Amino acid sequence: MIEQHEVDGVPTLLAPADGPMRAGLVFRVGQADETLARKGITHLVEHLALFSFGATDYHYNGVTGNAYTLFHTQGDSEEIATFLTGVCASLRDLPMTRVATEKEILRTEASGRGTSVGDGLGLWRHGARDFGLSGYPEWGLQSITEDDLRSWASRYFTRENAVLWVVGDAVPTGLRLDLPAGARMPLPQPSSALPRTPAFFASPSNALGWDTVLPRDTESAVFADMVERRMFRELRQEAGLSYTVGVSSELLTADTVLVTAIADALPEKQGALLGGFVDLMAALRVGRITEDEVTAVLGKRCDDLSQAEKNGGRLPGQALNLLVGNEIEQLDEVLAQTRAVTRDDMVERAAEAYGKGLLLTPVVPGPAWAGYAAAPTRSEQAVDGTAYRGRPDGDRRLIIGSDGVTLADHGEFATVRFDALAAMLAWPDGGRRLIGHDAIAVSIEPSLYRGLSAAMTAVDRRVPDDLRVDMPPRSPDMIPSPARVPWRRRLRARLRVPHVAILKLILPSAMLSLACLALAIGIAVVGFTGDRALQSVAAFGILLVAAARYARRARAVIRAMR
């Protein structure tokens, strides 16, 4: 039975359980509340708050998720009280002398962590904001100041924006949660970068990923269990295509959850894995679900819920429910709702899940044959502005206008508008990278475009300071430079004409050279006197004709180059 209490104005959940005493203080703030240009600020606050504890005899840690930040510990009552009291004291007065060091620690942590399949799905579903930010590096660390940290902590790490949970017989004696006053912060509204679903995108990975948005209810939880059961049986046990399969659920809004499925595979089995997963989801969608299967899934889920109640595993989730404005769910209520789920509920939920699904596949081409639309990788329109020709590829154009920038490459556009800018990365050497809300990015390298340097000032003026990220200097080998291209290819790019036109330009030049040679020989041999004058005049006439033809060609070339 979960009891509700209050400690220093912070709502508190208490539940006795088997095993050691545990506790956690969770705040309603995470990566989804940040901007791309300041991504990493919540994680940095978490690290600063934990610095003072160093090495202890009890376990503690911090977690920064998409929608929450958690400080949790395990130990006796006194150790838990000491830890959580100290966390709150640190949050009120962050150790700013540690900022530079903790930034370096976070960069080191990121370099060893890599990017997960789930992060990639979030980026493609939501773009470069809110729940899509987990797919990006913590670029904001470079620009975050001490004032930024103080402002962020005072806004989000408050007693009204926190919930405490304790797995034990009583709230620890001597616990103080001395947090500033504030307000409960709502969840950010999830954005979408997908014009339609179901959709897919290809990514170089050794795993397949899929996610979907479903109502936050018992039916969705049971459906997630059913998908995992099917994946384990069909993709691992029967087909031997995957070793690790798993399905998880994450709170997206107070009323919706994001269900994510992941399966790994060897490179030679990725095509078969894709086909197997698509068939699995299609079977669920058309109702190939038996009553016995539903009964088995429900039975296991009820057992898991009962076990979680005994060991305190349900308490962190219920604290998060309370934090986003939902009611606490007691075990008896959840078990009754679970046992009431029917086969028809699963068929209906499967169809909804398919319709909102996003599939990450390591296989190219993707499953367009199964009704999945390719997620957009390009923009539909270009901005109006000045075009700068690329080096050495003249067919590549960078367009800079008052509304944004566009990279036009052989008829395809990548556009970032200034009014939909998530961040601009700026390097000291003049390089820029603009990233839009839809995750479309345009790189501007002055060395790759003719006459671009002066236009960079105009771009910098259009970007607000809070969207600019000043990056550290790049090594010379990391700065792009024009590739060396054979002169024939450069000439074709400049003229924008096929090989035949090139020949028409070269032949008159050759004729002119031959005519000059003929005239010189004629003069040397016969001169302009006597009965040989006619030959000299003829040679000169040939020269004039060739020169006229070449002049016309040259004029056309100059016109084409403008």
CATH number where 398 lies = 2.30.29
CA separation for the pair 200, 445 (Å, rounded): 31
Contact (CB, 8 A) for 487 and 493: no
Residue 534's domain comprises 487-561
Tokens of 364: 């190219």
Domain boundary among 374, 395, 416: 374
pLDDT band at residue 518 using 50, 70 and 90 as cut-offs = low
pLDDT band at residue 54 using 50, 70 and 90 as cut-offs = confident
Residue 143 lies in a domain: yes
Q: Which amino acid is at 364?
A: V
Long-range CB contacts for residues 47-50, cutoff 8 Å, separation at least 24: 47/102, 47/105, 47/106, 48/90, 48/94, 48/95, 48/96, 48/98, 48/99, 48/102, 48/149, 49/87, 49/90, 49/91, 49/94, 50/87, 50/90
Mean pLDDT value of segment 80-97: 97
Residue 178 lies in a domain: no
453 and 367 in a common domain? no
- Chain centroid offset of residue 506 CA: 50
- Predicted confidence (pLDDT) at residue 326 exceeds the cutoff of 60: yes
Tokens of 221: 């939880």
* pLDDT 10s digits, 216-225: 999 999 999 9
Q: Which of the two residues, 365 and 165, has the higher pLDDT score?
A: 165
Domain boundary among 453, 478, 503: 478
- Predicted confidence (pLDDT) at residue 409 exceeds the cutoff of 50: yes
498 and 435 in a common domain? no
CA separation for the pair 462, 154 (Å, rounded): 30
Predicted local distance difference test score (pLDDT) of residue 481 = 81
pLDDT band at residue 543 using 50, 70 and 90 as cut-offs = low
Long-range CB contacts for residues 147-150, cutoff 8 Å, separation at least 24: 148/38, 148/41, 149/41, 149/44, 149/45, 149/48, 149/94, 149/96, 149/99, 150/94
Using the Cα atoms of residue 416, residue 419, residue 425 and residue 428 in order, give the sign of their dihedral.
Answer: positive
Contact (CB, 8 A) for 73 and 80: yes
551 and 437 in a common domain? no
Residue 304 lies in a domain: yes
- Predicted confidence (pLDDT) at residue 152 exceeds the cutoff of 80: yes
Reading phi first (left if > 0) and then psi (alpha if -120 to 50, else beta), residue 213 is in beta
The closest of 62, 66, 25 to 46, measured between CA atoms, is: 62
- Predicted confidence (pLDDT) at residue 118 exceeds the cutoff of 50: yes
Length of the chain: 562
Q: How many CA atoms lie within 13 A of 301 on its CB side?
A: 26
**CA–CA distance from 8 to each of 164, 389, 479 (Å)?**
11, 64, 54
Percent of the chain with pLDDT over 90: 74
CA separation for the pair 248, 251 (Å, rounded): 10
Structural domain count of the chain: 4
Contact (CB, 8 A) for 167 and 15: yes
399 and 301 in a common domain? no
The closest of 142, 144, 145 to 427, measured between CA atoms, is: 142
Cβ burial, residue 430 (10 Å; 0-12/13-18/19+): middle
- Predicted confidence (pLDDT) at residue 497 exceeds the cutoff of 50: no
Beta-strand ranges (E) seen in 312-411 are 358-361, 373-374, 386-389, 396-400, 404-409
Residue 237 lies in a domain: yes
- Predicted confidence (pLDDT) at residue 508 exceeds the cutoff of 70: no
pLDDT, the chain, mean? 89
* pLDDT 10s digits, 422-450: 999 999 999 999 999 999 999 999 989 88
CA separation for the pair 397, 379 (Å, rounded): 15
541 and 492 in a common domain? yes
- Chain centroid offset of residue 113 CA: 15
Tokens of 23: 């506790």
CATH number where 77 lies = 3.30.830.10
Residue 267 lies in a domain: yes
224 and 83 in a common domain? no
- Predicted confidence (pLDDT) at residue 529 exceeds the cutoff of 60: no
Domain boundary among 425, 444, 478: 478
Predicted local distance difference test score (pLDDT) of residue 561 = 44
H/E stretch holding 207 reads strand 207-215
139 and 213 in a common domain? no
Maximum distance among all Cα pairs of the chain, rounded to whole angstroms = 128
Residue 162 lies in a domain: yes
53 and 138 in a common domain? yes
Predicted local distance difference test score (pLDDT) of residue 500 = 46
Residue 234 lies in a domain: yes
431 and 356 in a common domain? no
Contact (CB, 8 A) for 23 and 85: no
533-561 helix and 487-495 helix, angle to the nearest 10 degrees: 70
Predicted local distance difference test score (pLDDT) of residue 560 = 44
Q: How many CA atoms lie within 13 A of 291 on its CB side?
A: 1
- Within a 10 A sphere around the Cβ of 49, how many other Cβ atoms? 23
pLDDT band at residue 112 using 50, 70 and 90 as cut-offs = confident
CA separation for the pair 210, 282 (Å, rounded): 14
Residue 191 lies in a domain: no
CA separation for the pair 362, 201 (Å, rounded): 9
Residue 358 per-residue DSSP state: E
363 and 268 in a common domain? yes
Q: Kindly report which listed range (19-28, 117-126, 486-495) carries the lowest average pLDDT score.
A: 486-495
212 and 109 in a common domain? no
Beta bridge mates, 552: none
Percent of the chain with pLDDT over 70: 85
- Predicted confidence (pLDDT) at residue 419 exceeds the cutoff of 60: yes
CA separation for the pair 386, 382 (Å, rounded): 11
206 and 80 in a common domain? no
